[in-house]
Amino acid sequence: MDYEYLLLGVEDAVATVTIHRPDKGNALAPAVLEELEHAFLSLGTREDVNVVVLTGGEKYFSAGFDLNEIRRLEKVSNEAYTAMFHRTYRAILFCPQPVIAAVGGPAIAGGFDLTMMCDIRYASARAKFGQREIVLALTPIMDPLWRIIGLGRAKELTLTGRIYGAEEAERMGYVSRVFPEGQMLEGVLAIAREMAGYDRQCLRETKQLGNQILAQDLDTAMRTQEWLFRTYIGSEENHRRIDELQAKLAAARKGR
pLDDT at 78: 64
pLDDT at 256: 74
- Confidence check: pLDDT of 201 > 90: yes
Catalytic residue numbers, as ranges: 133
pLDDT above 90: percentage of residues in the chain: 77
Are β-strands 51-55 and 14-19 bridged in parallel, bridged antiparallel, or unpaired? parallel
pLDDT category of residue 93 using cuts at 50, 70 and 90: very high
Could you state, in order of their start, the residue ranges of all structural domains in the chain?
A: 6-196, 216-254
**CA 52, 168, 213, 223 torsion: positive or negative?**
positive
- Confidence check: pLDDT of 81 > 80: no
pLDDT at 82: 76
Instruction: Note the pLDDT tens digit of each residue in 3-49.
Output: 999 999 999 999 999 999 999 899 998 899 999 999 999 999 999 99
6-196, CATH topology level: 2-enoyl-CoA Hydratase; Chain A, domain 1 (3.90.226)
Instruction: Note the pLDDT tens digit of each residue in 134-147.
Output: 988 888 999 999 99
